[in-house]
Amino acid sequence: MNAKFHLALPCKDISETRKFYTEVLGMPLGRHTETWLDVNLYGNQITFTKSGDFNFNFKDYRLGDHVLPSFHFGVIVDTDYWGELYTKLFQDSNLEVTTEVSFMEHKIGEHLSFFVKDPNGYMIEFKSFKSAREIFAS
């Protein structure tokens, strides 16, 4: 079965969120009103609902030598697109983009990864696996 996921998240500012996802990341806008919007994130539905200020108290975690945010979401894309997106976001914008990192080198699940922070403070991870067969391998 090929299923899509839906994720609903609180949002500080609808217009800034719309601008980030549609203009910066280039994602299509779905249904929307003044208080919520749907974004098509690579065929998956992310719903942002205006909630005002909110706070996620989260701890980071360590993966190898890297400290990562425990609260994040992301997408897995092919290596060519990953490189194009990293270049676009890192070089062509004023976003805070983490340096590209290779995780789990020479192990099952090896992948490239970088993070971008959206206007709400959410960390979005973009991954590209060395072998797509290893996405869920253990």
pLDDT per residue over 25-62, tens digit each? Answer: 999 999 998 998 999 999 999 999 888 777 666 566 66
**Ranges of CATH 3.10.180.10 domains, the chain:** 1-53, 55-138
pLDDT bin (cut points 50, 70, 90) of residue 70 is: low
Q: What does the alpha-carbon distance between residue 45 and residue 37 come to, in Å, rounded to a whole number? A: 10
Q: Calculate ∠ Cα 97-66-40, nearest 5°.
A: 40
Q: Find the Cα–Cα–Cα–Cα dihedral 104, 65, 42, 16, rounded to 10°.
A: 180
Q: Report residue 118 as tokens.
A: 């959206």
**Residue appearing with tokens 């719309």:** 18
Q: What is the mean pLDDT of the chain?
A: 84
Domain at 1-53, CATH class: alpha beta
Phi, psi dihedrals of residue 69, rounded to the nearest 5°: -75, 135
For the segment 113-136, the average pLDDT, to the nearest whole number, is: 87
Q: What does the alpha-carbon distance between residue 115 and residue 107 come to, in Å, rounded to a whole number? A: 21
Q: Find the Cα–Cα–Cα–Cα dihedral 21, 55, 75, 87, rounded to 10°.
A: 60
- Do the Cβ atoms of 102 and 110 come closer than 8 Å? yes
Q: What is the pTM of this model?
A: 0.78
For the segment 109-127, the average pLDDT, to the nearest whole number, is: 88
Q: What does the alpha-carbon distance between residue 41 and residue 125 come to, in Å, rounded to a whole number? A: 12
Is pLDDT above 90 for 135? no
Report pLDDT for 106.
85
CATH number of 55-138: 3.10.180.10
CA 116 to chain centre: 7
Report pLDDT for 20.
95
